[in-house]
């Protein structure tokens, strides 16, 4: 809404080359607001606007843009100004963009970047995608342990201008091994002549450089940290992951899981930013898998139709039988997948979970079975035997659905796959096959 109001004025200023107006636009608004408005402007024009503020402000605004837009802007800039820009960006943000560009473009601009920054970029680019190393920043505040608080404070002041956060100070030894942590709030309250070593916390919580970003996010969230330190295999401090990046990760992972639950391959960009054909592919691949399952269901139905000859009334309740098993299964899978994402389920609890789902599934099955039975008797005027077939089928299908729905995501996890791949539609598709088989078997048994 913000952007809709100011955008026309901004475009007018660009047309008129109104330097004073553009400088004010960049300076007065919150950088996040400036970024929001610039999202709607084409890349060449964005650079024309940003030319009216200094590099520091340019970067501040730039870092609030969508990754998608950032990549676009990088591609629209010449190599020389681009390399200056890259040098000044925060280490984690620039690596995010560079890892999205093709390696040729990266290699063409990196030689122009200052030596130290270049080494930093190559190092961070070398960590696997979605690992702590790939998302951390190297701009943290650190101090040696044998200094007095007053000295520590002065040293911190010198580091402050170039650090992403100075609110947690990491105490390291000569080998850069992490020895302790102190918050700035605690530092301010400590006696000026106390030794940092005596005041710092030594029960350090950290993550390793190759830990998965989801684990890193869970850990920071669990301890309510502003930042969490990242150490390498030799226990050396190599970076920190900050709260704002963790929020982005949690949102990203929640989005990924929501997409998976709806049988969509995760998108790299926002929904409206994703090209149409990409969207068709990310959805189509799952729809094809699901339609194959439905064809297997057709095959199973065919088998039973040839042997049992189903009466019309059985067909009427086929949608209820299929939907009920799938729905109970989707519910169970949802509960398990979300608990895993929140880190609430460990392996000791798997058995407790299975018995719980068996119990809940059968209670839910009994409930829906009673509804189905009553509807069959009263609404559709079926016989007692026919209604009983429906009752038993619904009870069995839903109990099995609940148990399968809870166990399949755990099986996927065990196999090293994402449990969220067990989407609601996939659970429903599997449940359809079982549902048909149970329905017709019960009918054959009761009818003889």
How many residues sit in the footprint of a copy of itself (CB under 8 A)? Answer: 116
Residue 404 lies near a copy of itself (rule: CB under 8 A)? no
Give me the least distance between CB of 2 and a copy of itself, in Å please.
10
Residue 19 lies near a copy of itself (rule: CB under 8 A)? no
Give me the least distance between CB of 366 and a copy of itself, in Å please.
10
Query: Of residues 56-115, which lie at the interface with a copy of itself (CB under 8 A)?
Result: 64
- What residues contact 439, with CB distance under 8 A and at least 6 apart? 314, 318, 321, 389, 393, 397
Place of tokens 């139709």: 305
The torsion region of residue 130 among left (phi > 0), alpha (psi -120 to 50) and beta comes to: left
Give me the least distance between CB of 174 and a copy of itself, in Å please.
26
Give me the least distance between CB of 159 and a copy of itself, in Å please.
10
Give me the least distance between CB of 259 and a copy of itself, in Å please.
6
Q: State which residue, 337 or 408, has the beta carbon closest to a copy of itself.
A: 337
Residue 429 lies near a copy of itself (rule: CB under 8 A)? yes
Give the residue from 348, 310, 342, 340 showing the smallest Cα distance to 412: 340
Residue 188 lies near a copy of itself (rule: CB under 8 A)? yes
Q: State which residue, 47 or 293, has the beta carbon closest to a copy of itself.
A: 293
Could you tell me which stretch among 37-45, 87-95, 102-110, 368-376 binds a copy of itself (CB under 8 A)? 368-376
Which residues are 139's β-sheet partners?
A: none
Give the integer Cα–Cα distance in Å for 34 and 40. 11
Q: Which of 9, 30, 146, 384 binds a copy of itself (CB under 8 A)?
A: 30
Q: Which of 71, 97, 368, 396 binds a copy of itself (CB under 8 A)?
A: 368
Give me the least distance between CB of 442 and a copy of itself, in Å please.
18
Q: State which residue, 292 or 417, has the beta carbon closest to a copy of itself.
A: 292
Q: What is the 3-state secondary structure (H, E, C) of the chain?
A: CHHHHHHHHHHHHHHCCCHHHHHHHHHHCCHHHHHHHHCCCCHHHHHHHHCCCCHHHHHHHHCCCCHHHHHHHHHCCCHHHHHHHHHHCCHHHHHHHHCCCCHHHHHHHHHHCCHHHHHHHHHHHCCCCCEHHHHCECCEEEECCCCEHHHHHHHHHHHHHHCCEEEEEEEECCCCEEEEEEEHHHHHHCCCCCEHHHHCECCCCCEECCCEHHHHHHHHHHHCCCEEEEECCCCEEEEEEEHHHHHHHHHHHHHHHHHHHCCCCCCCCCCCCCCHHHHHHHHHHHHHHHHHHHHHHHHHHHHHHHHHCCCHHHHHCHHHHHHHHHHHHHHHHHHHHHHHHCCCCCHHHHHHHHHHHHHHHHHHHHHHHHHHHHHHHHHCCCCHHHHHHHHHHHHHHHHHHHHHHHHHHHHHHHCCCCHHHCCHHHHHHHHHHHHHHHHHHHHHHHHC
Give me the least distance between CB of 160 and a copy of itself, in Å please.
5
Could you tell me which stretch among 46-54, 75-83, 170-178, 265-273 binds a copy of itself (CB under 8 A)? 265-273
Query: Of residues 189-228, which lie at the interface with a copy of itself (CB under 8 A)?
Result: 189, 203, 205, 220-224, 226
Could you tell me which stretch among 16-24, 28-36, 116-124, 440-448 binds a copy of itself (CB under 8 A)? 28-36
Give the residue from 178, 155, 180 showing the smallest Cα distance to 166: 155
Give me the least distance between CB of 304 and a copy of itself, in Å please.
10
Give me the least distance between CB of 203 and a copy of itself, in Å please.
5
- Is 132 exposed, middle or buried (CB count within 10 Å of its CB: 0-12, 13-18, 19+)? buried
Query: Of residues 155-174, which lie at the interface with a copy of itself (CB under 8 A)?
Result: 156-157, 160-161, 163, 165-167
Give me the least distance between CB of 287 and a copy of itself, in Å please.
5
Could you tell me which stretch among 37-45, 122-130, 229-237, 262-270 binds a copy of itself (CB under 8 A)? 262-270
Q: Which of 42, 251, 383, 444 binds a copy of itself (CB under 8 A)?
A: 251
Annotate each residue in 325-364 with x if it binds a copy of itself (CB under 8 A) or - if it does not, as one string.
-xxx-xx-xxxxxxx--x-xxx-xx--xx--x--xx--xx
Q: State which residue, 84 or 349, has the beta carbon closest to a copy of itself.
A: 349
Q: State which residue, 119 or 367, has the beta carbon closest to a copy of itself.
A: 367
Query: Of residues 275-334, which lie at the interface with a copy of itself (CB under 8 A)?
Result: 276, 279-280, 283-284, 286-288, 290-295, 297-299, 301-302, 305, 310, 312, 315-320, 322-324, 326-328, 330-331, 333-334
Give me the least distance between CB of 35 and a copy of itself, in Å please.
10
Give the integer Cα–Cα distance in Å for 357 and 340. 16
Q: Which of 11, 184, 358, 437 binds a copy of itself (CB under 8 A)?
A: 184
Residue 400 lies near a copy of itself (rule: CB under 8 A)? no
């Amino acid at each position: 809404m913000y952007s809709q109001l100011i955008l026309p004025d901004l475009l007018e200023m660009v047309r008129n080359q109104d330097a004073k107006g553009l400088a004010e636009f960049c300076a007065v608004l919150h950088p996040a607001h400036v970024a929001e408005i610039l999202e709607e402007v084409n890349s060449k024009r964005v650079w024309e606007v940003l030319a009216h503020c200094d590099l520091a402000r340019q970067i501040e605004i730039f870092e609030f843009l969508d990754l998608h837009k950032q990549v676009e802007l990088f591609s629209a800039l010449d190599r020389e100004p681009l390399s200056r820009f890259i040098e000044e960006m925060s280490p984690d943000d620039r690596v995010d963009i560079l890892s999205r560009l093709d390696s040729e473009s990266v290699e063409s601009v990196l030689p122009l970047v200052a030596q130290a920054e270049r080494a930093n970029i190559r190092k961070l680019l070398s960590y696997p995608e979605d690992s702590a190393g790939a998302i951390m920043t190297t701009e943290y505040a650190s101090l040696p342990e044998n200094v007095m608080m007053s000295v520590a404070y002065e040293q911190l002041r010198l580091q402050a201008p170039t650090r992403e956060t100075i609110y947690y100070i990491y105490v390291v030894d000569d080998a850069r091994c992490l020895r302790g942590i102190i918050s700035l709030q605690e530092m301010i309250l400590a006696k000026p002549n106390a030794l940092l070593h005596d005041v710092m916390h030594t029960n350090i919580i950290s993550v390793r450089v190759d830990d998965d970003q989801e684990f890193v996010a869970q850990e920071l969230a669990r301890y309510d940290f502003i930042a969490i330190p990242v150490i390498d295999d030799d226990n050396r401090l190599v970076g920190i992951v900050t709260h704002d990046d963790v929020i982005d990760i949690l949102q990203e992972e929640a989005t990924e899981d929501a997409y998976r639950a709806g049988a969509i391959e995760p998108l790299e960009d926002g929904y409206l930013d994703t090209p149409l054909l990409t969207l068709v592919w990310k959805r189509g691949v799952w729809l094809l898998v699901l339609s194959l399952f439905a064809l297997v269901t057709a095959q199973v139905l065919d088998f039973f139709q040839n042997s049992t000859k189903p009466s019309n009334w059985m067909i009427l309740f086929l949608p209820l039988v299929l939907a009920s098993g799938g729905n109970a299964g989707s519910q169970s899978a949802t509960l398990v997948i979300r608990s895993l994402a929140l880190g609430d389920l460990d392996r000791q609890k798997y058995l407790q979970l299975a018995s719980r789902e068996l119990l809940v599934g059968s209670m839910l099955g009994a409930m829906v079975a009673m509804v189905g039975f009553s509807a069959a008797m009263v609404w559709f005027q079926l016989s007692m035997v026919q209604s009983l077939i429906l009752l038993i089928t619904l009870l069995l299908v839903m109990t099995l659905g609940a148990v399968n729905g809870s166990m399949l995501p755990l099986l996927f996890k065990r196999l090293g796959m994402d449990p969220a791949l067990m989407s609601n539609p996939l659970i429903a598709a599997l449940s359809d096959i079982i549902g048909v088989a149970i329905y017709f078997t019960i009918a054959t048994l009761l009818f003889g």
